[in-house]
């Protein structure tokens, strides 16, 4: 057992820190560090800077821009981005559809989509969830019916995050209603400018426009835009949801949020009760960070680690707990959440309530925390 | 960066586990052992000495093995796993640690050599009634006359004090500060008792009792006492981790096998979810224990002190969560002294209240929150 990073990893971390803090525009990083929302153009600009340096999609196969890093190096890359306030590469592109196309796509699909996906020339949306298919994703009903060389898609997707920016959407559709429900699902790549695709915003409790409904009415999708074979969609979706071991717990971002809150708290940090809450959270975050390091340092076979569920569960709880502390420290100032910019209340305090409300999602998305408990009790504890 | 024990460490774990199983194959053996004086198995203690386990922390020059903190942590985890009542933490890690840190070369060779060989048991008397985890022991006062030192006062609890052949006593020095002294049990009044987990401690009364300074006479040893206490806390956390690992394992086994309403308990999701949360707590605790143990090798007392507080807080929280849930999910069986799970909860609590509880460590961490921007793992 050895606590220190190796010289190679220490150098690697220093190189990441140097790049992230000097090459990504300060204004973008300040926006992230302050917890404000990034615009479309900032996210694109940042990812292109990373991509030019080979830092946007390091976990992809090397022939498509990946780096042959260890899990620990990927972890360090991810943590340093969060620490520096660099927007993480768009997850839909970098973590979800990119690896899927690289694994299951045809050569034509790879050449057409992968470079554009890495560089965020295409902004992908995720079309998985439906009104009656959340955690029970296999119940999805959006249909795709063969018509000559094309598929004709009808149905509705929901919770499509940042779908308002989407150029393309990777979509799970039911291509065979007759077989067992998992077996009748396929994955289609759909150009969102195709006639019949309609994006409708959903307003959330934090007042933001982050998710959307996407409606498909007789949308014609060329047959060469199916990923894998008909009926392979469920396998592909499991690959997509399971292949991410690094970064399931946003440790760096939560640590940064707590550190910032300490500096914003001012006199309140003199209150022993506040200090105790901070100390407890710092300790829990340290335990989470060390657990993430244990997971990435342990196996290198690339298979999903069952402890990912532990990290997701605890990571979302702590992310939420820090936002609760922020709201409590903001107090009455938090009421000014939707006041004009000339509000006398401080910026961080005005963001506290929306952030707290927004982060309730963290224990719902990506497999709700109840699903994670199910995974832990079944696959780890054998219950 | 590596959290995996190497082959030798793994072999040590298996050897210690195998040896402990010869005495504590089941909880009933532990019950019988703690019911009789001295509250642990002298024969097992001797075999631990033969295996080199009692000399692990001490240098070869002092008759020890010169192993590192990870090895000692592994031993403590295995002791915790079977709730072994042997006074390894009290005698080897704590009292032995004080001798190794502060003794003269002659004292070290003599005491640590005999401790490692299993010939003597040491106990540290560094706490007075009402005191809470301080490196100063105001309840025992040292006096010197014509070069002869005596101690007066009361120490309690003195873990393993009723069996000790030599007491290592912390006492207030005449000119201020805290010194360490070696005292024979013949020179004191010692009353033994059992703690909630049935491990043994004692009240030791000093009445102008003859004492030999440990190391240089009259020197304030507060800093060394604090550091050895921190090391003991981290090893206590290792021991508590072993207990909790057993509790989680026992609980999942029980949920799979115990039938109620005609089905096994693991068919009730409410119960399996609680077991999942126990596992999450345990994993976090394991990370902190591994980390805190590895900080010792760096040798910086401030880093070790911080790690001791952090792991102490985590273990206190995890001990309550895992220990209480283990009892609840077992139901009545875990309330009985016949069954290890509930006794394990008592043992973790005894370790925490002896070495530093959650409130204590949280208070210390809370006092320091403004000293850093964020806590760094590496």
Q: What is the pLDDT of residues B335-347, one digit of tens each?
A: 999 999 999 999 9
Position A243 confidence tier, pLDDT thresholds 50, 70, 90: low
Give the per-residue pLDDT at A113: 98
Cβ–Cβ < 8 Å for B369, A279: yes
Mutation for A interface: B2, B5, B244, B251, most A CBs within 10 A: B2
Inter-helix orientation angle B222-257/B301-330, to 10°: 30
Query: Beta strands A226-227 and A211-222: pairing type?
Result: unpaired
Cα first-last separation, chain A: 31
Average of pLDDT values for B265-287? Answer: 97
Residue B331 predicted with pLDDT over 80: yes
Give the per-residue pLDDT at A224: 97
Q: By CB neighbour count within 10 A (0-12 exposed, 13-18 middle, 19+ buried), where does A52 fall?
A: exposed
Q: Which residues of A touch B363 (CB under 8 A)?
A: 276
DSSP 3-state helix, strand, coil percentages of chain B (rounded to 5)? 55, 15, 25
**Residue-wise burial string across A153-191, b where 16 or more C-beta atoms lie within 10 A, e elsewhere:** bbbbbbbbbbbbbbebbbbbbbbeeeeebebbbbbbbbe
Position A139 confidence tier, pLDDT thresholds 50, 70, 90: very high
Residue B162 predicted with pLDDT over 70: yes
- Point out the residue among B276, B277, B369 whose CB comes nearest to the CB of A278: B369
Give the per-residue pLDDT at B42: 98
State the Cα–Cα distance between residues B345 and B352, nearest whole angstrom: 11
Instruction: Report the sign of the C-alpha dihedral through residues B196, B78, B278, B254, in that order.
Output: negative
Pinpoint the alpha helices (H) of B161-218.
Answer: none
Residues 6+ apart with CB under 8 A from B331: none
DSSP codes joined into one string, B275-290:
HHHHHHHHHHHHHHHH
Across A207-335, the runs of DSSP E, i.e. the strands, are: 211-222, 226-227
Cβ–Cβ < 8 Å for B311, B288: yes
Give the per-residue pLDDT at B352: 98
Give the per-residue pLDDT at A197: 98
Active site residue A289: no
Nearest-CA distance from A61 to chain B in Å? 25
Measured between CA atoms, the residue of chain A closest to residue B7 is A1
Q: How many CB atoms lie within 10 A of CB B142?
A: 26
Average pLDDT, chain A: 94
DSSP codes joined into one string, B248-260:
HHHHHHHHHH-EE
Cβ–Cβ < 8 Å for A174, A151: no
pLDDT in tens, A141-177: 999 999 999 999 999 999 999 999 999 999 999 999 9
Q: Which residues of B touch A325 (CB under 8 A)?
A: none
Instruction: Residue window 310-329, chain A: list those with CB within 8 Å of chain B.
Output: 310, 313-314
pLDDT in tens, A58-80: 999 999 999 999 989 999 999 99
Inter-helix orientation angle A71-84/A251-265, to 10°: 30
**B5 to A1: CB separation less than 8 angstroms, yes or no:** yes
Nearest-CA distance from A291 to chain B in Å? 5
State the Cα–Cα distance between residues B281 and A381, nearest whole angstrom: 14
Cβ–Cβ < 8 Å for B150, B138: no
Give the per-residue pLDDT at A302: 52
Enter the tokens of residue B207: 């009445």
Cβ–Cβ < 8 Å for B104, A35: no
A80 touching B, CB under 8 A? no
The number of residues in chain B equals 378
Residue among A304, A326, A327, A320 nearest A364 (CA) = A320
Predicted model pTM? 0.95
Element (H, E) at B305: helix B301-330
**A255 to B283: CB separation less than 8 angstroms, yes or no:** no
Neighbouring-strand partners of residue A198: A215
Average of pLDDT values for A188-213? Answer: 96
Q: What percent of chain B has pLDDT over 90?
A: 98
Residue A300 predicted with pLDDT over 60: no
Average pLDDT, chain B: 97
Neighbouring-strand partners of residue A211: A202
Neighbouring-strand partners of residue B201: B159, B193
Give the per-residue pLDDT at A246: 63
Give the per-residue pLDDT at A134: 86
The number of residues in chain A equals 383
State the Cα–Cα distance between residues A315 and A14, nearest whole angstrom: 25
Give the per-residue pLDDT at B210: 98
Enter the tokens of residue B146: 């014509």
State the Cα–Cα distance between residues B350 and B360, nearest whole angstrom: 15
DSSP codes joined into one string, A66-131:
-----HHHHHHHHHHHHHHTPPPPPHIIIIIIHHHHHHH--HHHHHHHHHHHHTTSS-EEEE--BT
Give the position of tokens 């190189």. A15
Position A318 confidence tier, pLDDT thresholds 50, 70, 90: very high
Residue among A169, A168, A185 nearest A177 (CA) = A185
**A287 to B5: CB separation less than 8 angstroms, yes or no:** no
Q: Is the peptide bond before B38 cis (omega within 30 degrees of 0)?
A: yes
Q: By CB neighbour count within 10 A (0-12 exposed, 13-18 middle, 19+ buried), where does A94 fall?
A: buried
Give the per-residue pLDDT at A295: 85
**A376 to B279: CB separation less than 8 angstroms, yes or no:** yes
Instruction: Residue window 255-294, chain A: list those with CB within 8 Å of chain B.
Output: 255-256, 258-259, 262-263, 269, 272, 275-276, 278-280, 282-291, 293-294
**B6 to A262: CB separation less than 8 angstroms, yes or no:** no
Enter the tokens of residue A310: 């532990």
Lowest-confidence segment of A214-228, A231-245, B168-182, B255-269 by average pLDDT: A231-245
What is the SS3 assignment for A160-186? CCCHHHCCEEEEEEECCCCCCHHHHEE
B253 touching A, CB under 8 A? no
Cβ–Cβ < 8 Å for A178, A184: yes
Nearest-CA distance from B168 to chain A in Å? 32
Position B356 confidence tier, pLDDT thresholds 50, 70, 90: very high
Residue B377 predicted with pLDDT over 90: no
B365 touching A, CB under 8 A? yes
A253 touching B, CB under 8 A? no
State the Cα–Cα distance between residues B378 and B376, nearest whole angstrom: 6
Nearest-CA distance from B105 to chain A in Å? 31
Enter the tokens of residue A67: 């780096």
φ and ψ at residue B173, rounded to 5 degrees = -85, 150
Cβ–Cβ < 8 Å for B313, B352: no
Cα first-last separation, chain B: 9
Give the three-class secondary structure for B199: coil
**A2 to B288: CB separation less than 8 angstroms, yes or no:** no
ipTM attached to this prediction = 0.96
State the Cα–Cα distance between residues A110 and A228, nearest whole angstrom: 12
pLDDT in tens, B118-159: 999 999 999 999 999 999 999 999 999 999 999 999 999 999
DSSP state at residue B371: G
Residue A306 predicted with pLDDT over 90: no
Give the per-residue pLDDT at A244: 61
Cβ–Cβ < 8 Å for A360, A323: no
């Amino acid at each position: 057992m050895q606590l220190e990073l190796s010289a190679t990893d220490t150098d690697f971390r220093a190189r990441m820190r140097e790049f992230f803090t000097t090459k990504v525009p300060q204004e973008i990083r300040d926006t992230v560090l302050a917890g404000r929302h990034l615009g479309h153009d900032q996210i694109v600009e940042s990812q292109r800077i990373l991509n030019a340096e080979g830092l946007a999609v390091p976990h992809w196969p090397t022939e498509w821009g990946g780096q042959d890093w260890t899990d620990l190096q990927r972890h360090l890359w991810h943590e340093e981005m969060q620490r520096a306030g660099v927007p993480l590469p768009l997850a839909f592109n970098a973590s979800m559809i990119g690896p899927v196309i690289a694994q299951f796509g045809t050569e034509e699909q790879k050449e057409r989509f992968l470079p554009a996906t890495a560089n965020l020339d295409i902004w992908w949306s995720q079309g998985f969830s439906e009104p009656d298919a959340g955690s029970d994703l296999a119940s999805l009903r959006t249909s795709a019916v063969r018509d000559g060389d094309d598929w004709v898609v009808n149905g509705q997707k929901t919770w499509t995050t940042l779908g308002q920016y989407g150029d393309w959407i990777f979509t799970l559709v039911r291509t065979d209603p007759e077989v067992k429900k998992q077996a009748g699902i396929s994955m289609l790549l759909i150009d969102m400018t195709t006639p019949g695709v309609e994006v409708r915003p959903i307003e959330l409790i934090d007042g933001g426009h982050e998710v959307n409904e996407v409606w498909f009415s007789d949308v014609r999708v060329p047959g060469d835009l199916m990923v894998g074979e008909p009926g392979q969609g469920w396998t592909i979706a499991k690959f997509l949801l399971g292949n991410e071991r690094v970064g399931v717990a946003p440790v760096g971002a939560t640590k940064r949020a707590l550190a910032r809150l300490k500096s914003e708290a001012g006199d309140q940090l003199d209150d022993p009760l506040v200090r105790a809450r901070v100390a407890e959270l710092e300790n829990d975050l340290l335990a989470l960070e060390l657990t993430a390091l244990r997971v990435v340092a342990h196996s290198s076979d690339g298979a999903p680690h069952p402890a990912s569920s532990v990290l997701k569960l605890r990571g979302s709880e702590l992310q939420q707990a820090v936002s609760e502390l922020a709201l409590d420290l903001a107090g009455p100032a938090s009421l000014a959440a939707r006041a004009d910019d000339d509000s006398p209340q401080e910026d961080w305090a005005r963001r506290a309530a929306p952030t707290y409300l927004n982060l309730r999602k963290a224990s719902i998305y990506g497999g709700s925390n109840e699903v994670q408990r199910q995974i832990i009790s079944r696959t780890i504890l054998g219950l | 960066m590596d959290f995996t024990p190497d082959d030798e460490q793994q072999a040590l774990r298996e050897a210690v586990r195998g040896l402990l199983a010869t005495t504590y194959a089941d909880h009933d053996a532990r019950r019988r052992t703690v019911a009789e004086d001295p509250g642990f198995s002298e024969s097992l203690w001797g075999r631990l000495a033969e295996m080199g386990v009692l000399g692990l922390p001490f240098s070869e020059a002092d008759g020890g093995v010169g192993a590192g903190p990870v090895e000692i942590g592994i031993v403590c985890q295995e002791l915790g796993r079977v709730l072994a009542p042997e006074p390894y933490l009290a005698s080897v890690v704590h009292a032995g640690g004080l001798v190794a840190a502060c003794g003269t070369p002659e004292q070290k060779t003599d005491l640590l050599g005999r401790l490692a060989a299993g010939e003597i048991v040491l106990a540290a008397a560094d706490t007075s009634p009402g005191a809470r985890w301080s490196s100063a022991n105001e309840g025992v006062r040292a006096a010197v006359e014509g070069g002869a030192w005596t101690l007066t006062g009361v120490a309690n609890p003195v873990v393993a004090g009723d069996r000790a052949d030599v007491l290592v006593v912390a006492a207030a020095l005449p000119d201020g500060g805290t010194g360490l002294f070696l005292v024979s049990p013949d020179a004191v009044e010692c009353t033994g008792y059992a703690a909630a987990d049935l491990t043994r401690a004692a009240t030791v009364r000093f009445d102008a009792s003859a004492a030999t300074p440990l190391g240089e006479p009259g020197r304030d040893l507060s800093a060394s006492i604090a550091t050895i206490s921190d090391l003991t806390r981290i090893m206590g956390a290792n021991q508590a981790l072993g207990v909790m690992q057993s509790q989680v394992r026992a609980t999942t086994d029980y949920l799979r096998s115990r039938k109620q309403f005609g089905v096994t308990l693991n068919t009730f999701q409410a119960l399996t979810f609680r077991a999942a949360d126990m596992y999450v707590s345990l994993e976090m605790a394991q990370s902190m224990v591994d980390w805190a143990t590895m900080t010792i090798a760096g040798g910086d007392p401030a880093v070790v002190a911080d790690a001791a507080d952090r792991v102490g807080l985590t273990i206190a929280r995890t001990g309550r969560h895992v220990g209480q849930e283990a009892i609840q999910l077992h139901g009545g069986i875990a309330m009985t002294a016949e069954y290890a799970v509930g006794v394990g909860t008592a043992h973790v609590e005894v370790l925490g209240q002896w070495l530093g509880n959650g409130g204590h460590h949280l208070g210390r961490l809370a006092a320091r929150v403004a000293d850093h921007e964020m806590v760094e793992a590496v």
